Amino acid sequence: MSLQGRTLHDRAVWLFIVLSAFFCVNAVLAEFIGVKIFALEDTLGIAPLEWNLFGQTGSLSFTAGTLLWPVVFLMTDVINEFFGRRGVRMISWLAAVLIVYGFVFAFAAIAIAPADWWVKAAQPQGVSDYQAAFAAVFGQGLWTIAGSLVAFMLGQLIDVAVFHRIRNITGEKYVWLRATGSTAVSQLVDSFVVLYIAFVLGPQKWPTSLFLAVSTVNYAYKMLAAIALIPLIYLVRAGITRYLGEARARQLREEAALV
CB 62 within 8 A of CB 37: yes
Task: Tell me if 62 is assigned to some domain.
Answer: yes
Task: State residue 236's pLDDT score.
Answer: 93
Task: State residue 4's pLDDT score.
Answer: 53
Task: Tell me if 117 is assigned to some domain.
Answer: no
CB 131 within 8 A of CB 119: yes
Task: State residue 6's pLDDT score.
Answer: 66
Task: Tell me if 132 is assigned to some domain.
Answer: no
Task: Tell me if 83 is assigned to some domain.
Answer: yes
Give the model confidence (pLDDT) of 51-81 as tens digits: 888 888 888 888 888 888 888 888 999 999 9
Q: For the residues of 150-193, what is the DSSP string, one character each?
A: HHHHHHHHHHHHHHHHHHHHHTTS-HHHHHHHHHHHHHHHHHHH
Task: Tell me if 165 is assigned to some domain.
Answer: yes
Give the span between the Cα atoms of 233 and 226, in whole angstroms.
Answer: 10
Give how many domains the chain has, as a whole number: 1
Domain residues for the domain of 14 are 3-110+139-256
Task: Tell me if 167 is assigned to some domain.
Answer: yes
Instruction: Using only the alpha carbons of the chain, give its radius of gyration.
Output: 21
CB 133 within 8 A of CB 127: yes
Evaluated on CA atoms 210, 211, 212, 218, the torsion sign reads positive
Regions of the chain with pLDDT less than 50: 1, 3
Task: Tell me if 133 is assigned to some domain.
Answer: no
**pTM (two decimals):** 0.88
Task: Tell me if 157 is assigned to some domain.
Answer: yes
Task: State residue 1's pLDDT score.
Answer: 46
